[in-house]
Structure 1
Amino acid sequence: MTFIIWIIIGGILGWLASMVMKTDAQQGMILNVVVGIVGALLGGWLLGPLFGTGTINSDDFSMSGLLVSFLGAVILLAIVNLLRRGKVR
């Protein structure tokens, strides 16, 4: 059941991050899920200790866990944009 929640919440967080970074027209639903889940891993690694919380990948579905996962997805898209275009956007 947790895997299904990862997919749903990861898709929503990836979609929201792509809206913030203005890459929504370039990616579909599957890439939004991937960005959400991988971004949550990145956020847990970079921002989790800073905020003292987990992410959706560590079964922390609190507001702070969702925020860290969302910020990780935004950071992931910023890195991809920087490597692809030479600017964050």
Structure 2
Amino acid sequence: MNILVFLIIGGIAGWLAGLIVKGFGFGLIGNIVVGIVGAVVAGYLLPIVGVSIGSGIIAAIIHATIGAVVLLFVIKLVKRA
């Protein structure tokens, strides 16, 4: 059950990040991967800057979305170079 929730949160976060950062859409599997990797990125970066979002599913989606947006922004910068 936890894996299913993990995948759903990753998919939602990746989809939202794709909407925020224009020009990026990776399909269902790609969005899940971007959301999961984004959650890992945010899990590393947010505590460093002192941001605490809270707990729960909504907080997890916000957390993963922030990380996914950062990830897509970095990918966009690398593609331009």
Q: TM-score range by the shorter chain?
A: 0.7 to 0.9
Structure ranking higher on relative contact order (CA contacts 8 Å, 6+ apart): 2
Task: State the Cα distance separating 1:5 from its structure 2 match.
Answer: 0.5
Question: Sequence identity of aligned pairs in percent?
Answer: 40
The runs of 5 or more residues in structure 2 that have no matched partner are none
Structure 1 residues without counterparts, runs of 5 or longer: 55-59
Q: TM-score, normalised by structure 2?
A: 0.83
- Verify the 8 A CA contact 1:39 1:71 in the aligned structure 2: yes
C-alpha separation in 1, matches of 2:65 and 2:47: 12
Secondary structure of the 1:14 match is helix
What is aligned with 1:78? Answer: 73
Count matched residues.
80
TM-score scaled by length of structure 1 = 0.77
